[in-house]
Structure 1
Amino acid sequence: MKAMYQKVFEEGYAVVKKIQETQEDAIKQCARLIADAYISNHTFFVSGSGHSHTVSEEFYGRAGGLAFTVPILTSELTMTEHPTKSSYIEKLSGYAEILCELYHIQEGDVVLIASNSGRNAYPVELAQCAKEKGAKVVAITSVAHSSATTSRAKSKQKLMDIADVVIDNCGVLGDACLKMEGMDTLMMPTSSIANAFIVQAVSVLSAQYIMEAGKEAPVFVSLNGHADQSVNDELYRKYTRLY
């Protein structure tokens, strides 16, 4: 068991290191798009379905996070109500177009879409709709996984085929990477680890580029420390979308 304990950390470190070494340009391009959108009074959206919806939560509403992020985070895309509901919804053609209209995605905006496989209708059609509106699209996906599977979207495209910037989370086909003796199924999906690091790199660099342009980067503070809640309250009043 001790060997497996070490293996878990080795695999986790390895994927983060690979991202650091291979995805710098893509992460910087993404951060530049987000910063430029903010500076020019456009909107930064982020979305994902299934476990990839956590990318939206990693960006939004947390200490150290960019306050101007707008998550497309409907319950249908998450796992809060039923473990397989989002798996059905993300395969439905037309749902992404509805959200694209409801959230008023438009020219000059940036839409970051997380999907490990990038093959289902929701991420593909959200990317297509956003591009048609004139927005820039960023994908966080597993290039290895996506390349090894066929598209389930009507267009037969995958998310990485449409995005202006593709950030590879460097995961393997199937996401899980750890083989245990006596078990046929692999364990330890790496996308959650990888995506969290990618989000933080993108967020920090976006803030850097915003400040280099002479603007203030609005960032949430922790309400469980000694910070005044009024800081976050003001940011929510300024940036949170109301429907």
Structure 2
Amino acid sequence: MIDRVFECGFEVLKKIQKTQVKQIDEAAKMIAEAFINDHTFYVSGSGHSHTVAEEFYARAGGLAFVVPILTTELTLNEHPTKSSYLERLSGYAKILVDLYKISENDVVLIASNSGRNAYPIELALEAKDRGAKVIAITSVQHSNATASRHSSGKHLLDIADIVIDNCGVLGDSAIHLEGLDSAMCPTSSMANAFIVQAISTQCAAYILKKGITPPVFVSLNCEGSENLNHEYFEKYTRIYKK
């Protein structure tokens, strides 16, 4: 069964590589252009999808200019289902859009496996209303199989300028064990991690093509690297617009 887990993961990743490279490339180019033109790149997700923000943000080999919309309420830190309730709550995303001052020509990447809850949909709508561009990482199959929980009746994929399919199945979990009703091995986390790194690396390549050195964090756990990230942390970390 361990081999099956690896096979399941590889199957999803190969499908993403085969079907989503164009969308990933477009996302990378959009983010690079935003950075080059002094606009802001935000990333957010709720529940387990918040890990996409963490995958982008403040880690070795990652772009230093990423601004996460990563409040505690959207994570699993305080309670395992708190974020599940809050992501269905209308009005919360607008508060964050106002707080972070998302504005014209910014780019907002939103991760939501189902793409059906109020928070990711409202975040996308509010961002677009302010002239920002929206990238979605979502499961197209799951979205198409479930009803929206937002008053608009839309899913995240209906709003985003670029939709990257994580190629997951309905319910996310992809392996069925004999004698167990619930499926196991959710694939969205492993898929999202690869998508994030593909976007980040391609984005850096586009920035370099413009003759600009992209700010990239190094590991603080390597000898002599303790001070290398200081400038980036001072300039970019959780930056709020004036």
Q: Verify same fold: TM over 0.5.
A: yes
Distance in 1, matches of 2:217 and 2:39, equals 19
Tell me, what secondary structure is at the counterpart of 2:200?
helix
Distance in 2, matches of 1:181 and 1:196, equals 29
Tell me, what secondary structure is at the counterpart of 1:166?
strand
Partner residue, 1:207: 204
CA deviation vs aligned residue, 1:27-51 (integer Å, no higher than 9, x gap):
0000000000000000000000000
Match among 154, 169, 172 for residue 172 of structure 1: 169
Q: 1:183-198 residue pairs with structure 2 within 5 A?
A: 183-198=180-195
Tell me, what secondary structure is at the counterpart of 1:177?
strand
Distance in 2, matches of 1:93 and 1:170, equals 27
Contact 1:112–1:139 (CA<8 Å) still a contact in 2?
A: yes
Are positions 1:58 and 2:63 aligned together? no
Distance in 2, matches of 1:227 and 1:235, equals 16
Aligned-pair CA distance for 1:227 = 4.1
Are positions 1:19 and 2:16 aligned together? yes
For 1:179, the aligned partner's letter is H
Aligned-pair CA distance for 1:230 = 1.4
Distance in 1, matches of 2:142 and 2:224, equals 42
Contact 2:45–2:74 (CA<8 Å) still a contact in 1?
A: yes
For 1:104, the aligned partner's letter is K
Aligned-pair CA distance for 1:200 = 0.2
| Identical columns (%) | 65
Tell me, what secondary structure is at the counterpart of 1:231?
coil
Q: Which aligned segments of 4 or more residues in structure 1 are displaced greater than 3 angstroms?
A: none
Partner residue, 1:88: 85
Are positions 1:119 and 2:112 aligned together? no
Partner residue, 2:214: 217
For 1:198, the aligned partner's letter is I
Q: Structure 2 unaligned runs (5+)?
A: none
Contact 1:221–1:227 (CA<8 Å) still a contact in 2?
A: no
For 1:157, the aligned partner's letter is K
Tell me, what secondary structure is at the counterpart of 2:151?
coil
Q: Structure 1 unaligned runs (5+)?
A: none
Q: 1:27-106 residue pairs with structure 2 within 5 A?
A: 27-106=24-103
Partner residue, 1:131: 128
For 1:153, the aligned partner's letter is H
For 2:76, the aligned partner's letter is M
CA deviation vs aligned residue, 1:64-111 (integer Å, no higher than 9, x gap):
000000000000100000000000000000000000000000001000
Distance in 2, matches of 1:108 and 1:227, equals 38
Tell me, what secondary structure is at the counterpart of 2:93?
helix
Are positions 1:228 and 2:225 aligned together? yes
Distance in 2, matches of 1:227 and 1:9, equals 36
Partner residue, 1:6: 3
Instruction: Kindly report the root-mean-square deviation, in angstroms, between the aligned alpha carbons of the 2 structures.
Output: 0.8
Aligned-pair CA distance for 1:226 = 2.3
For 2:92, the aligned partner's letter is Y
Contact 2:67–2:239 (CA<8 Å) still a contact in 1?
A: no
Contact 2:68–2:238 (CA<8 Å) still a contact in 1?
A: no
For 2:46, the aligned partner's letter is S
Partner residue, 1:110: 107
